C-alpha cells in the first residue's frame, strides 16, 4: 500500500473511531472541559459546511467531495507525487472521506473539539486544514522555475 493510501486510511480510521467514541461518551451540546478555558469536548451535529455555514445544506458538499476524491486519485496515479505532496494528498483524502461518510450515513458531520472561540471541529477537519495549509506553503515557498535564456546568433 502506498504512503498516500496509508495516510488517508490512518486519518479515516482515527476520524471515524473518534466520532464513534464521541457519540457514545458525550452528550449532545454539553461541553466537557479537557483543558479548562482552552479545549472542550462538545458533541455537535453539523448539518452545514465548513465553519457551520449553510446549516441544513451540507448535502451540497457530497458531489464536491466525490470530485475531490476522484481528482486526488487521478492525480496520484497519473503523476505519483513523492514526499510532502504525497503526505498532504493523503491527509486531504482521509479527511474528505471521513466527513463524506458522516454526511452520507447520517446527514450531518459529527464534531467534538471545541476551543470556545472557533467552530467545533473533528479529526477530518484538522487533516483537511493541515493539507490545504501545506499546499499553500508549498506554493508560497516553492522556487519558481527560472526560464532558460536562449541565445540566438543573429546573422549579419
Q: Note whether 99 and 111 are within 8 A (CB).
A: no
Task: Identify the helix (H) or strand (E) that includes residue 44.
Answer: strand 39-46
For the record, the C-alpha cell of 48 comes out as 452545514
- Whole-angstrom distance, CA of residue 43 vs CA of residue 27: 6
Q: At 107, give phi and psi (nearest 5°).
A: 90, 5
3-state helix, strand, coil in the chain (%, to 5): 60, 15, 30
Catalytic residue among 15, 102, 111, 114: 111
Catalytic residue among 15, 102, 114, 125: 125
H-state helical runs in 36-82: 61-79
* Catalytic residue list contains 125: yes
* Catalytic residue list contains 114: no
- Whole-angstrom distance, CA of residue 100 vs CA of residue 64: 10
Residues annotated as catalytic are 111, 125
Amino acid at each position: 500500500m502506498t504512503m498516500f493510501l496509508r495516510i488517508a486510511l490512518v486519518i479515516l480510521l482515527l476520524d471515524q473511531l473518534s466520532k464513534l467514541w464521541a457519540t457514545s461518551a458525550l452528550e449532545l451540546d454539553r461541553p466537557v472541559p479537557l483543558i479548562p478555558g482552552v479545549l472542550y469536548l462538545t458533541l455537535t451535529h453539523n448539518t452545514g459546511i465548513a465553519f457551520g455555514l449553510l446549516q441544513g445544506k451540507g448535502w451540497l458538499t457530497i458531489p464536491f467531495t466525490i470530485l475531490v476524491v476522484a481528482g486526488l486519485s487521478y492525480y496520484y496515479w497519473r503523476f505519483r507525487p513523492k514526499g510532502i505532496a504525497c503526505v498532504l494528498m493523503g491527509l486531504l483524502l482521509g479527511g474528505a472521506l471521513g466527513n463524506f461518510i458522516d454526511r452520507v450515513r447520517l446527514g450531518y458531520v459529527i464534531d467534538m473539539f471545541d476551543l470556545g472561540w472557533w467552530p467545533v471541529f473533528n479529526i477530518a477537519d484538522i487533516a483537511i486544514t493541515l493539507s490545504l495549509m501545506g499546499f499553500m506553503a508549498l506554493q508560497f515557498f516553492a522556487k519558481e522555475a527560472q526560464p532558460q535564456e536562449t541565445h540566438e546568433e543573429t546573422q549579419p
